Amino acid sequence: MQVSVETTEGLQRRLTITVPAESVDSAVKSRLQQLAKTQRINGFRPGKVPVSVIKKRYGTAVRQEVAGEVMQRNFYEAIMQEKITPAGMPTFELKSDKDGEDLEFVAAFEVYPEVEVKDVDKLAIEKPVVEIQDKDLEEMMVTLQKQHAEWKEVKRKAKKDDRVVIDFVGTIDGEEFEGGKAEDFTLELGKGRMIPGFEDNLVGAKKGEEVVADVTFPEDYHAEALKGKAASFAMTVKKVEGQSLPKVDDEFAKLFGVEEGGVEALQAEVKKNMQRELDQTLKSQLKENVIAALLEKNKLDLPQALVDQEVNALREQAKQRFEQQGQGQNLPELPADLFMDNAKRRVSVGLLLGEIIKKEELKPDAARVDALIESMASAYEDPNEVINYYKSNEELMQQMNNVALEEQAIDWIVSNAKTKEVKKKFDEVMNKQA
């Protein structure tokens, strides 16, 4: 086998490979002899068909089949010989394939870029630090109360977070339009669920009052006929409702599965959950800060094959999300442009972190892997069952090892960069995450 390597452009490579004729011809002859033993042709006894007859009937197809196998096999031998690592599957072009002559073909593919992680010691990274305060816990308890609140009619003006029941009629240039009218419509104020301006005059209104909302439909509104149109909604307030929060007591605690210890036990459980979610959010934010700084200092020439693979993975994830929401049927293939920037970012991050893991000879830390599994399992009713399931599944354990390695690479960057701790408030961090 003869091999020549050509760099065509950037990461693109072309291998021209020549395979001796005798290697190909002997493989074709052997395949034809095997066929002669199994084919049934009129005029010949089973297993006694001459190879010349088989070659006349099946020779072209057999040679094409053998040529495909020869190209695959010799390509892998060639890249091992030349110490080349392809970044994707090659495309083959058969140049010459005739009886008695050497087989020649070209394999075109991309290679991985040379990755050198630069200027880690110059990276400026912000590490958010948060302590859960008593008021944070109090606000979370109020949130839990609101989740179990009852709506009761109130005899006062409506305010933000109240609920109003209204009749309304919408007009454009004095004419009613389709879909612009409703009776006994319930609207929670302050949630921004209607078009801008619709709620404005409802805050401060009371039962029996009539108000008018002058609005403009957004240019991206779902109804084509209403996009960008100015409209007027005449509304009548039929009821104003406020939230009646449940009392925080032992019965309230039982609503969240806390059977013993009452309110104190509930608060302890809530704070533990808040801490777990906060820790995960802080870890994610630190990781994003590290990655943003890393990408800013390290621009890579990316193999399109890897980017395309990532686009397909992101597209499949999006499709699965739509299907889970019951919207997957008859969904057209989402265009690659939607995912291209994210795909390039993920490929760059993978190559850079992979280089750090390789250069620093990082290995998955068993204690970290266990902690990751335990943290994830703590959100389930029976954590031990989840932990045992993961530890008995080789594929899942490999995934957790990869997560641990990635975290270790991030930790290495943080310890070697210019990292500054910045104190932040709980709601500032968690609201940003939301």
d(CA 272, CA 132): 10
- Residue 433, pLDDT score: 55
Non-local (6+) Cβ contacts of 61 within 8 A are none
Non-local (6+) Cβ contacts of 199 within 8 A are 187, 189, 190, 192, 213
- The per-residue pLDDT for range 402-434, each reduced to its tens digit, is 999 999 999 999 999 999 999 999 999 998 655
- Residue 245, pLDDT score: 93
- Residue 37, pLDDT score: 81
- The per-residue pLDDT for range 9-62, each reduced to its tens digit, is 899 999 999 999 999 999 999 988 888 887 777 777 777 778 888 788 888 899
d(CA 197, CA 201): 8
Q: What number is the average pLDDT over the span 286-315?
A: 94
Q: Is the pLDDT of residue 131 over 60?
A: yes
Q: Please give the single-letter amino acid code of residue 152.
A: K
Give me the residue label for tokens 């005059």: 201
Q: Is the pLDDT of residue 281 over 90?
A: yes
Beta carbons of 360 and 412 less than 8 angstroms apart: yes
Phi-psi label, residue 127: left if phi above 0, alpha if psi -120 to 50, beta otherwise = beta
Non-local (6+) Cβ contacts of 291 within 8 A are 349
Q: What is the DSSP string of 288-345?
A: HHHHHHHHHH------HHHHHHHHHHHHHHHHHHHHHTT--TTPPPPPTHHHHHHHHH
- Residue 376, pLDDT score: 87
Beta carbons of 228 and 219 less than 8 angstroms apart: yes
d(CA 21, CA 32): 16
Higher-scoring residue by pLDDT: 285, 434 = 285
- Residue 325, pLDDT score: 76
What does the mean pLDDT of the chain come to?
Answer: 92
Percentage of the chain lying above the pLDDT 90 cut: 79
- Residue 428, pLDDT score: 92
- Residue 54, pLDDT score: 79
Sign of CA dihedral 243, 246, 248, 253: negative
- Residue 381, pLDDT score: 84
- Residue 426, pLDDT score: 95
- The per-residue pLDDT for range 163-214, each reduced to its tens digit, is 999 999 999 999 999 989 999 999 999 988 899 999 998 999 999 999 999 9
- The per-residue pLDDT for range 225-268, each reduced to its tens digit, is 899 999 999 999 999 999 999 999 999 999 998 999 999 999 99
Q: What φ, ψ does residue 235 adopt, rounded to 5°?
A: -125, 145
Q: Is the pLDDT of residue 326 over 80?
A: no
Buried b (16+ CB within 10 A) or exposed e, 185-199: eebbbeeeeebeebb
Q: Report residue 327's pLDDT band, with 50, 70 and 90 as the boundaries.
A: low
pTM, whole model, 2 decimals? 0.72
The single-letter DSSP state of residue 202 is G
- Residue 375, pLDDT score: 86
Q: Is the pLDDT of residue 8 over 80?
A: yes
- Residue 256, pLDDT score: 92
**3-class secondary-structure state, position 57:** helix
